[in-house]
Amino acid sequence: MYSLNALEHHWLSTEQSFGDSFADCLAVFREMFRCASRVGSALTGRKALEPNCAFVLLTKVQNHASATFVLLKRGLLVDAALTCRNAVETSLLIELLAKEPPLCEAWSRGEQFRPSRVRKRLAELPSVSVGDMIIEVTPDEYEDARFAYDWMSRISHANVESVRHAAEQKGANNFELKIGGALSRPEIVAVTKVLGTCCLRALLTCAAVYAPELLHHRVFDEFRKQLHDVRVEVGA
C-alpha cells in the first residue's frame, strides 16, 4: 500500500535516478528554458498585439514544459505525455500566429483554434516571407507532430495502451502496476524529443518574426545540439 510519505520517498529516489541516468534529457530541458527566457525577454515591453500574443503563449508553453519535466523525472510518464501534448499544441499555435499575424486578432477575441486546424494550416504554409526573411518548414515536420500528438493522446486517455505504460507484465496473466511511476528510457526520450523539437521551432519562428537579431545567438545552437545528442539507448 502507498501513503503520501511513501510516494514522496519513492519520487525522491526516482528523481535521483533520473539525474544519474537521463543527463542528456535534463540538458535539453535546461537549454529549452534558457532559450525561451532569451526569446521571452526580447518580446517584453512591446505594444503591438502580435508579439504580446506570442509572449502569453510562450509563457503557457513553458508552464506545460515545466510540468512535463517534473512528471518525467518522477516517472509519471502518462501524465507527462498529457502536459507535453498541451505544450506541443501551444507551440504550434505560436508558429501559426507568427506566420499569419492577422489571426492574432481573432485569437485575442476568444476564437478557438483546434490543434488539427492549426497543423493543417501550418502544413499549407511550407514557406512564409517575413520582411527580407523566408521561413521554411517541410510539411513532413507537421505530419511528425500529428503522429506524436496522436500517440500522446492515446496513452494519456484511459484505454489499454495507456495501462501498458503504467504496468509491467509479469508472466502470462500477471501485471505489476507502477504506482507512483517508473522510469523508462524510450518514453522519456520520446516525450523529450517531441517537446524539444516543437518548442525549438516555435522559438526560432518567434525570433525570426519579432527579434531577428536573436537568430545567431548561441542559445539556439546549444538547444539544437542538446536535442540532437539525446539517444534512445545510453551510449548509442
Report the sign of the C-alpha dihedral through residues 54, 56, 58, 60, in that order: negative
Residue type, 110: G
State the DSSP H helix or E strand holding residue 169, giving kind and residue range, or none if neither.
strand 167-169
Report residue 2: phi and psi, to 5°: -110, 135
Which residues does 219 contact at the CB level (< 8 Å), separation at least 6?
A: 31, 34, 35, 38
CA distances from 153 to 50, 82, 83, 84 (A): 30, 7, 10, 10
pTM: 0.89
**CB of 98 within 8 A of CB of 48?**
no
- Name the more confident of 73 and 137: 73
Q: Tell me what pLDDT residue 176 has.
A: 74
**Grid cell digits, residue 141:** 515536420
- The answer to whether residue 131 scores a pLDDT higher than 90 is no
Work out the average pLDDT over 78-97: 95
- The answer to whether residue 234 scores a pLDDT higher than 60 is no
Per-state percent for the chain, helix, strand, coil, to nearest 5: 70, 5, 25
Q: How confident is the model at residue 233 (pLDDT cuts 50, 70, 90)?
A: low
- The answer to whether residue 1 scores a pLDDT higher than 80 is no
- The answer to whether residue 236 scores a pLDDT higher than 50 is no
- The answer to whether residue 60 scores a pLDDT higher than 80 is yes
State the distance between the two ends of the chain, measured CA to CA, in whole angstroms: 38
CA distances from 199 to 41, 145, 181 (A): 16, 11, 25
Residue type, 109: R
Averaged pLDDT score across all residues of the chain: 89
Label residues 169-189 b or e (16+ Cβ within 10 Å = b).
eeeeeeeeebebbbbeeebbb
Query: pLDDT digits over 159-213, tens only?
Result: 777 777 777 777 777 777 778 888 999 999 999 999 999 999 999 999 999 999 9
In the chain, where the domains are located: 8-110+138-229
Distance CA 225, CA 46 (A): 30
State the DSSP H helix or E strand holding residue 136, giving kind and residue range, or none if neither.
strand 133-136
